[in-house]
Chain A
Amino acid sequence: MVNGDVKREETPMNSAQDMKNRNSLKGKIVLVDGENRKTIIDLMKQLLEKKCLDAILVPSQVPDTDSYTWLLVQEGSLLDLCDPLPPVMTVQGGKALSSLTKHGEMEANIGALMRPCEIEAVVELHKLKQIDLDHIILFSIDCPGTVPLSDYMRDPQKMAENFKESIKKWGESESLRPICQICDRFSLFPFAPSSPKSSLSQGGADLPASDIHIGLLGGNDEKIFLWPVTQRGKDLLKKLDLSVHDNLEVWESKVEEVREEKLKKRTAFHDEWSTKIKGVDNFAAIFDECINCHNCMEACPVCYCQQCYFDSQLLTLTPEAYLERAQKRGSLRFPLDTLLFHIGRMSHMALSCVSCGACEDACPMSIPVAQVFTAVGDQVQDYFKYVPGREKEESPPLQIFLEDEFGDVETPGDGLETSHGEAKENV
């Protein structure tokens, strides 16, 4: 594969042919009463009232402010401030949910309503055993994107307006974060069981990770589409007396249409970025303004270490060592080891990067961190045939292996004899 040649659309599981061959999905079409937001809130309220859930984690507006936060709601009436699609992502949902379930198992059944990239982060954390999904029901929702946090803070009213506009045009807006403009996973998809993406994993079908997906596309603010993805999701809708026999074709084809557009943009993004990040001078230039504050790492949902290597004393050297490094280069740049931090962080989590943009939103220096990590992340994920955030039961790629793989990274040296019978041929 040529570097930068990332073609997600060619993975057979998503090909147009697959889409056509498959029967359309069944679910529930709910007529919208007033606005989408209210209809979704009513649904959540019913789930609490009928004791299907003990509590639900939702994005909410902070009363009398323009800010958004996560609320764990037990009392239905408090759901009125919930906004299933806030204009900004303040704290990544995966991060919020992991602080809830970090210690110990839960008896209660908790729902969580999140954007697709947040659900994907949740799944990655579940695989890393930092979220326990046993008692958590995930609700995902079609996502138009969010506006950059810093733009929103500067002018909340105007950006909220822009965000509303962008929902109408579904993602086609310059006001949205660059990472959202190229997001091809803004919705949930059914995937063919034999996806090559899972060939390195333990097998099994690629199933979207949430339990119930809320489709908005194609509904024209008149209906929303409920797709029960898992058995748990089906059971839940049953408890609400919602039959799930409606045909969801309208939603599906609209999603496919938008997705094709997004994929084109993502490919264009890779064409542009694969050269922008190449070579030490280019790469270093991107981080010229970096103050090494580690905010990007703090905000990243899949930066999973409890104690970060880069916050430890392991990188602290003696003054002599620094002088020696300065001598070699003519000068030494402070803050120290900025590139080591970014590349090192990448080498830990790039396979799990869900392109959520939280790092970029958190950067005080407006460095396009999420775009850099996505440019690299997509390529290494492709190399490992790994799609983060899908398949709850899959293991993280660095915790599994095949005996015979990656032969091309072993370099015994040209023409070297190996006396070991088991050793593999060098490719």
Chain B
Amino acid sequence: MDTEFKPNIVGFLCNWCSYAGADLAGSSKMEIEPSLSVIRVMCSSRINSNLVLSSLLWGADGVLVAGCHPGDCHYERGNYYARRRFALLKKILEVLDLEPDRLQLSWISASEGKRYSEVVNTFAEHISQAGPNSLAHNPKV
């Protein structure tokens, strides 16, 4: 693959688990792929599908949505709703063949600094392999 390609990944992290996990990864000086721009949201259920879609259509090469593990959401059920919305959006992108693999949903708890770095690094690697997002370069989009 093109070694010059530096992916541009957007990460929506929930405040109570995944953002704290990211914080832990940072303060533990773990190696984290720098291509991820983090956006902190109060809960994974705050993420309207349009936020993910506009990221993807406006130029992100990948979008990561991360929240608390099932059962652990600070608002009890937010991540379950988020998962359904995510599943719907991903299915639509699949049906339309619009780069569904550029979306990822992961559960990362506040104590999982290591897991955070692994999720991000693996996803970044996957996106680097996939190359630039064709949607972001299509003049019709």
Contacts and interface: CB of A to CB of B under 8 A. Distances in A.
A380 B109 contact: no
B23 interface: no
Contacts of B40: none
A348 B107 CA distance: 23
B134 A413 contact: no
B49 A347 contact: yes
Interface size band for B = 35 or more
A329 B137 contact: yes
Interface stretch (A63-71, A111-119, A336-344): A336-344
Given A280-B98, A380-B92, A413-B122, A419 B112 contact: yes
Given A380-B95, A413-B118, A420 B136 contact: no
Interface residues of A, number: 58
B21 to A, nearest CB: 10
A176 to B, nearest CB: 26
B27 interface: no
A397 B48 CA distance: 16
B98 A344 contact: no
Interface in A369-427: 375-376, 379-380, 383-384, 397-399, 401, 403, 405-406, 409-414, 416-420, 422-424
A335 B21 CA distance: 41
B42 interface: no
A398 B88 contact: yes
B16 interface: no
A277 interface: yes
A163 to B, nearest CB: 33
Interface in B113-129: 114-115, 118-119, 122-123, 126
B1 interface: no
Nearest to A419: B112
A325 B105 CA distance: 26
B88 A423 contact: no
A416 B109 contact: no
Interface of A: 3-4, 274, 277-281, 283-284, 288, 309, 314-315, 325, 328-333, 337, 339-340, 343-344, 346-348, 350-351, 375-376, 379-380, 383-384, 397-399, 401, 403, 405-406, 409-414, 416-420, 422-424
Interface of B: 48-50, 53-54, 57-59, 69-72, 77, 80-81, 83-98, 104-107, 109, 111-112, 114-115, 118-119, 122-123, 126, 134-141
